Amino acid sequence: MSRHASDARYARQTRFAPLGIEGQAGLSRGLAVICGCGALGTTAANLLVRAGVGRIRIIDRDLVDWTNLHRQVLFDEEDARQARPKALAAAEKLRAANSQVEIEAVTADLSARNVPRLLQDANVVLDGTDNFETRFLINDYCVREGIPWIYAGCLEAEGRVMTILPRETACLACVLPDCPPPGALPTCETAGVLGPAVGVVASWQACEAMKILAGQHRAVTRGLLVFELWQGRVRKIAAQRAVGENPCRACVRREFPFLQPGLQAPAVTLCGGNAVQVSPPETRLDPAEIAERWSGLGEISGGEGFVRIKTPECELTLFSDGRAIVRGTTNPALARSWYARLVGL
């Protein structure tokens, strides 16, 4: 690529005075790690690669399927037909969009064991995950290591985003002291999600990442933003560091339980059964309530103490103690992904 073409690529962006040439140089030197390459992750990655962030690392455990295509902007029908790993499919599209950016695709289930290797050199981390277990893992690591990260989530027509600057702002554990237990919250699989809500939240998330990489920390938005697109509402909720009588266990007491190997819900391949057992920390679920949530997603059956759903992709049997057997795969990461989608982690 000629020098003129390289300069021209970002000309409209560098004309924006708060960013400018200096800010663009900061982007080009930065490493953004995107945890999860679904709806939020693909949209944010697309924006950051086109903005000229020097290095992008994409981490995802999942495969592309047809239900992804209405909102996950880097995937196409051929990706779904081949059930390609999301990280690899996204990286291919992103390299075609900007050959100047170094893009690393990691097909892995982010865990306490691999999080130091995958996040340690990041300048900013973006949350594109689908479960709070992984978000608390990211929060614990980033707060401990002083790495800025951006929480985001979407469900139905609502999206939320909050930038965490360790030692400056509230962290996720300040505003949500306890990780919601499995099954406590609806998921995109059970409640649905609108693509435009994803686009708004991921765009905000990408802009926050650009501010951080450009060295413009003062411009970073403080607090939790909530977008309700169907009703046309936007709220900003103040978020303060939890100090005083009930100090935050992460950013004040410096306790990081999610970094302990073994806390993550284990998934074990069952011998000879083309199935994986997912065993989160013991909880109590109401199978009837879960069955109602799953209405319309597949063939539902059950009995005393369990509920089962069959879809074209898998069969998941959920027990009232939170344990599940996922049939149709021997891949623990894929089984955990289905559990997160259908039950929540």
Q: What is the pLDDT of residues 267-278, one digit of tens each?
A: 766 655 678 878
Residue 265 has pLDDT above 70, yes or no: no
Residues 107 and 61: beta-carbon distance below 8 Å = yes
Cα–Cα distance between 287 and 289 in angstroms, integer? 5
Cα–Cα distance between 42 and 67 in angstroms, integer? 15
**Mean pLDDT rounded to a whole number for the chain:** 91
Residue 282 has pLDDT above 70, yes or no: no
Measured from the Cβ of residue 209, the count of other Cβ atoms closer than 10 Å reads 28
pLDDT tens-digit series, residues 161-206:
999 999 999 999 999 998 887 777 888 878 889 999 999 999 999 9
Q: Is 138 helix (H, G, I), strand (E, B) or coil?
A: helix
What pLDDT was estimated at residue 147?
98
State the average pLDDT over residues 128-145: 94
What pLDDT was estimated at residue 271?
55
What pLDDT was estimated at residue 2?
53
pLDDT tens-digit series, residues 307-331:
999 998 889 988 887 888 898 888 8
Residue 1 has pLDDT above 80, yes or no: no
CB-neighbour burial class of residue 312 (10 A; exposed 0-12, middle 13-18, buried 19+): exposed
Residue 3 has pLDDT above 80, yes or no: no
- What is the spatial order of strands in the sheet that 299-303 belongs to? 267-270, 275-278, 324-327, 315-319, 306-310, 299-303
What are residue 32's DSSP bridge partners?
A: 56, 124
pLDDT tens-digit series, residues 16-60:
999 999 999 999 999 999 999 999 999 999 999 999 999 999 998
Residue 4 has pLDDT above 70, yes or no: no
What pLDDT was estimated at residue 73?
95
Residue 141 has pLDDT above 90, yes or no: yes
State the average pLDDT over residues 230-250: 91
Q: How confident is the model at residue 111 (pLDDT cuts 50, 70, 90)?
A: confident
Structure-block tokens of residue 274 = 């083309």
Q: Which of 88-102, 204-218, 230-244, 270-284 has the lowest mean pLDDT?
A: 270-284
What pLDDT was estimated at residue 242?
83
Q: Could you give all domains of the chain from N- to C-terminal order, each with its CATH number?
A: 3-259 (3.40.50.720), 267-342 (3.30.310)
What pLDDT was estimated at residue 21?
97
Cα–Cα distance between 345 and 330 in angstroms, integer? 20
What pLDDT was estimated at residue 310?
92
Measured from the Cβ of residue 219, the count of other Cβ atoms closer than 10 Å reads 14
Residue 333 has pLDDT above 90, yes or no: no
Residues 110 and 118: beta-carbon distance below 8 Å = yes
Residues 325-344: b if buried by 16+ CB within 10 A, e if exposed:
bbbbbbbbbbbbbbbbbbbb
